[in-house]
Amino acid sequence: MTDFTATEMMTIAAARALKNDDVCFVGIGAPSAACNVARLTHAPDITLIYESGTIGTQPDVLPLSIGDGELCATALTTVSVPEMFRYWLQGGRIKIGFLSAAQLDRFGNINTTVIGPYDKPKVRLPGGGGAPEIATSCGEIFITLKQAPRSMVETIDFFTSFGHGRGGRHREELGLTTKGPTLLVTDLAVWKPDPETKEFTVVSIHPGATRQMVEETCGWKVRYADAVEETPPPSDLELETLRDLQARTKAAHGGAKKGQ
């Protein structure tokens, strides 16, 4: 078996959750890598949508931002941002939203706005963009991020994108009819919300990771499913696809000289 990194395992485990007939609203960064690995392996017909209005995009390299020309150049069509949000997203036409977070709590609530008090933050982050609407309007939400006590926290500093709120039936109480976060993939484990409490629960641990590692890098008390499995390691095809994609991206965006 080929050696792999924890980040590669996270990306590939997230990619596996996507299906060939999914319509997916893709976030930049780790979500984009996972979605495109899925498209290049087991889900060639997946429809990838980016916030800038590109529909059915098939980038050869990972985009730097939603405004990257690669997205428009390889899309089936590009619509205006108002149409994207009002007709496609808020119209209930997108099955999965794939997001990441600066801070995440046990109920899948996301902060990408500030670290610390809003008026005098320690760090001011990029903000929500379209993520708040994605979190409430897509059929369900997948989240991916690397584990660390500063990112997986007991209480987020700012509610940018609503997950399951206080847990339980909070989404329903607010009139939200979509499922909210149904999957969290980190560099150590796969988590799913408890059916009743909606608290993220570990269902599988990646090869080489341990419960102790999961607990030491999480800011809340970790819960486990009754039967915790080991995440299947990446196949040669999955690793080759991801690494080729990253190599093309580095060459395109890293200023590599011709012939190198």
Q: What's the burial of 126, exposed, middle or buried (CB within 10 Å: 0-12/13-18/19+)? A: exposed
Write out the two tokens for 110. 């996301």
The whole-number pLDDT of residue 254 equals 77
Amino acid at 47: T
259 falls within a domain: no
As annotated, the active-site residues are 51
Domain assignment of residue 260, yes or no:
no
Sheet holding 77-78, edge to edge: 77-78, 54-55, 47-49, 23-26, 96-99, 140-144, 181-185, 189-193, 200-205, 224-230
**CATH number where 97 lies:** 3.40.1080.10
Residue 227 lies in a domain: yes
Please report the pLDDT score of residue 189 as a whole number: 98
Asked whether residue 197 is assigned to any structural domain, the reply reads yes
Give the domain range for residue 103.
Answer: 6-253
Residue type, 63: P
Distance CA 131, CA 1 (A): 37
Q: How far apart are CA 138 and CA 104, in angstroms?
A: 19
Query: With contact defined as beta carbons under 8 Å apart, do 208 and 8 qualify?
Result: no
Centroid of chain to Cα 147: 13
**Is 194 part of a structural domain of the chain?**
yes
H helix and E strand count, the chain:
8, 14
Q: Could you give the CA distance from residue 125 to residue 144 in angstroms, rounded to a whole number?
A: 18
How much is the pTM? 0.93
Residues 6+ apart with CB under 8 A from 68: 59
- Sort strands 123-124 and 114-115 into parallel, antiparallel or unpaired: antiparallel
| 234 domain-assigned | yes
For residue 81 the two structure tokens come to 């941002």
3-class DSSP state of 184: strand
How many structural domains does the chain have? 1
CA gap 140, 70 in Å, rounded: 27
Would you give per-residue pLDDT tens digits along the chain (260 residues)?
Answer: 579 999 999 999 999 999 999 999 998 888 999 999 999 999 999 999 999 999 999 999 999 888 888 999 999 999 999 999 999 999 999 999 999 999 999 999 999 999 999 999 999 998 998 899 999 999 999 999 999 999 999 999 999 999 999 999 999 999 999 999 999 999 999 999 999 999 999 999 999 999 999 999 999 999 999 999 999 999 999 999 999 999 999 999 875 444 44
* 244 contacts: CB under 8 Å, gap ≥ 6: none
pLDDT of residue 65: 87
DSSP alpha helix (H) spans, the chain: 6-16, 30-40, 69-73, 81-83, 131-137, 170-173, 211-216, 236-253
Return the residue matching tokens 């001011």. 124
Q: Estimate the crossing angle of helix 6-16 against helix 236-253, to 10 degrees.
A: 110
Answer yes or no: are the C-beta atoms of 173 and 124 closer than 8 Å.
no
